[in-house]
């Protein structure tokens, strides 16, 4: 409780200094005095995207119903077995309607969150539909500092063709603000850090990057602020500031020894400097997403673990062949094993995200309790480029309404749009229809 003024501190409270605007996490002093002064807490929504599908024999649980023994690709989620569900037989049938000659990846990734058929084009006249994350951003984004965050950990691959007959926009983003406006994805932890903590309009290079730490500029205000709150809130603020500083240290660490950018990946000028280590890059982006949610800077975000048709190799897990290459496994046991290993590696970052959400407190609850988090791929089996039977997970408790810990098997070709319609409802956004939906997906609550 605010001990000086006996009124709650606003949820939008900031620590401000020249060029810095540091949002605060949830504090006890932010509680309203009476229950009737507060509506239900907001549900946060995240979408995590895995490229190139999965080796489905090692993804799909053996039996329907309560999750028991997890298949190989999902083993890292064992600590969260009661807190996520595997959703089988969800399909994005709009991807099959893209043209007379179906391409491999672009139709799937191009309509993954839109459930609208992408236009076949190599020009700038790209078209899909408004993605579900941007429907949420449009409805909820006016209540937060940023409407949403769209992140990736792989460099954009230019503006030409990335699949047969399709523009690269379809494989390098899953978010569409309008049917003709794909959203570029931020791959730079530095850029995301500054979007969260630098004042809009500040000269970022002069006002932020040249400092040893953004915390140097808010220490005095932080000290004054902590005098207005109780002991528990003081401790939480101290821990939060240290977590921000730790993220900042990690950003500074990779910037001191930057990798040489791969100029072959883009024709659009210099690339942002990002961590050379894929795991550190991915964890940094996840940590930034969690901080953004915890400070109510966003209520919706997404993270792509790679562009679709990505040829990234993963020597850190002894996979030196390109991801797209090994996804065409056929009868080759080595490729099947490598495809499985990459899938399991990607899912391990989803597990890391769930850990971080569970360990971020909001009063008596965790951020995980207030969230719904989807992991999915836009194709099923890499061999087939199928857009039905997609690999999909749903986690989080959605303010206590989601009932998870199951392998849910739906009728074949159940629209994945039904899941999105249900997620919109969970977040308080009512729509009669989304994409090719036939109704909110059942068995979730």
Phi–psi pair at 22, nearest 5 degrees:
-100, 105
* Model pLDDT, residue 236: 81
* Model pLDDT, residue 287: 98
Q: Check whether residue 311 and residue 165 sit in a common domain.
A: yes
Return d(Cα 434, Cα 130) in angstroms, integer.
9
**Both structure tokens of 76:** 């890292």
What pLDDT, in 10s, does the model give residues 341-357? Answer: 999 999 999 999 999 99
Residues in the chain, pLDDT under 70: 1-19, 29, 31-39, 99-103, 156-161, 199-212, 258-270
Chosen domain end from 252, 273, 294: 273
Q: Check whether residue 181 and residue 193 sit in a common domain.
A: no
- Verdict on whether the full-model pTM lies above 0.85: yes
CA distances to 31, 33, 228, 237 from 6, rounded to whole Å, are 11, 9, 10, 19
* Model pLDDT, residue 363: 80
Q: Check whether residue 282 and residue 256 sit in a common domain.
A: no
* Model pLDDT, residue 17: 61
* Model pLDDT, residue 203: 46
Q: Check whether residue 393 and residue 320 sit in a common domain.
A: yes
Q: What is the CATH number of the domain that holds 430?
A: 3.40.720.10
* Model pLDDT, residue 247: 93
Q: Check whether residue 32 and residue 95 sit in a common domain.
A: no
In the three-class reduction of DSSP (H, G, I as helix; E, B as strand; rest coil), residue 179 is classed as coil
* Model pLDDT, residue 36: 39
Q: Check whether residue 134 and residue 222 sit in a common domain.
A: no
Q: Check whether residue 301 and residue 419 sit in a common domain.
A: yes
Return d(Cα 56, Cα 110) in angstroms, integer.
22
In the three-class reduction of DSSP (H, G, I as helix; E, B as strand; rest coil), residue 43 is classed as coil
Tell me how many degrees the CA angle 84-347-130 measures, rounded to the nearest 5.
75
In the three-class reduction of DSSP (H, G, I as helix; E, B as strand; rest coil), residue 407 is classed as strand
How would you class 158 by CB atoms within 10 Å of its CB: exposed for 0-12, middle for 13-18, buried for 19 or more? Answer: middle
Chosen domain end from 226, 247, 273: 273
Return d(Cα 4, Cα 119) in angstroms, integer.
59
Q: Check whether residue 290 and residue 411 sit in a common domain.
A: yes
Q: Check whether residue 61 and residue 194 sit in a common domain.
A: no
**Both structure tokens of 397:** 């408790």
Of the candidates 235, 137, 251, which has an alpha carbon nearest to the alpha carbon of residue 192? 251
* Model pLDDT, residue 1: 37
Of the candidates 435, 294, 347, 330, which has an alpha carbon nearest to the alpha carbon of residue 72? 347
Beta strands in 134-207 (DSSP E): 149-152, 161-163, 166-167, 176-178, 181-182
Token pair 């902590």: residue: 226
Chosen domain end from 215, 244, 273: 273
Q: Report the number of distinct structural domains present in the chain.
A: 2
Q: Which residue segment(s) compose the domain that 315 sits in? A: 44-185+274-445
Q: Check whether residue 294 and residue 409 sit in a common domain.
A: yes
Is the CB of residue 281 less than 8 Å from the CB of residue 191? no
Q: Check whether residue 359 and residue 236 sit in a common domain.
A: no
């Amino acid at each position: 409780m605010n001990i000086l003024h006996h009124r709650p501190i606003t949820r939008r409270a900031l620590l401000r200094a020249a060029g810095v605007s540091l949002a605060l996490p949830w504090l006890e002093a932010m509680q309203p005095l009476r229950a009737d002064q507060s509506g239900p807490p907001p549900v946060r929504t995240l979408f995590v995207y895995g490229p190139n599908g999965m080796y489905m024999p090692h993804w799909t649980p053996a039996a329907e119903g309560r999750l028991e023994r997890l298949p190989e690709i999902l083993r890292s989620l064992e600590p969260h077995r009661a807190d996520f569900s595997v959703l089988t037989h969800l399909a994005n049938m709009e991807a099959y309607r893209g043209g007379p000659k179906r391409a491999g990846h672009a139709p799937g990734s191009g309509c993954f969150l839109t459930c609208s058929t992408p236009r076949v084009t190599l020009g700038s006249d790209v078209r899909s539909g408004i993605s579900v994350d941007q429907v949420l951003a449009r409805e909820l984004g006016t209540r937060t500092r940023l409407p949403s965050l769209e992140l990736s950990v792989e460099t954009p691959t230019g503006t030409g063709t990335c699949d047969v007959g399709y523009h690269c926009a379809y494989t390098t983003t899953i978010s569409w603000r309008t049917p003709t406006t794909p959203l570029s994805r931020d791959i730079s932890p530095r850029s995301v850090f500054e979007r969260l903590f630098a004042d809009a309009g500040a000269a970022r290079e002069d006002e932020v990057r040249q400092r040893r730490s953004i915390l140097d500029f808010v220490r005095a205000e932080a000290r004054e602020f902590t005098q207005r709150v109780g002991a528990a809130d003081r401790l939480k603020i101290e821990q939060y500031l240290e977590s921000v500083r730790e993220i900042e240290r990690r950003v500074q660490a990779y910037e001191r020894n930057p990798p040489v950018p791969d100029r072959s990946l883009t024709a659009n000028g210099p690339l942002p400097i990002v961590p050379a280590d894929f795991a550190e890059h991915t964890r940094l982006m996840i940590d930034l997403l969690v901080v953004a949610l915890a400070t109510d800077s966003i209520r919706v975000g997404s993270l792509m673990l790679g562009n679709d048709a990505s040829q990234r190799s993963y020597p850190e897990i002894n996979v030196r062949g390109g991801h797209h290459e090994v996804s065409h496994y056929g009868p080759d046991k080595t490729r099947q094993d490598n495809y499985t290993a990459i899938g399991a590696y990607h899912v391990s970052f989803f597990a890391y995200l769930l850990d971080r959400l569970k360990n971020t407190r909001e009063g008596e609850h965790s951020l995980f309790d207030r969230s719904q988090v989807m992991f999915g791929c836009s194709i099923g089996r890499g061999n087939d480029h199928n857009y039905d039977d997609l690999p999909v997970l749903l986690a989080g408790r959605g303010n206590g309404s989601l009932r998870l810990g199951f392998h849910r098997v739906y009728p074949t070709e159940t629209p994945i749009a039904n899941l999105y319609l249900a997620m919109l409802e969970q977040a308080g956004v009512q729509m009669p229809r989304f994409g090719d939906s036939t109704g909110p997906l059942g068995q979730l609550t």
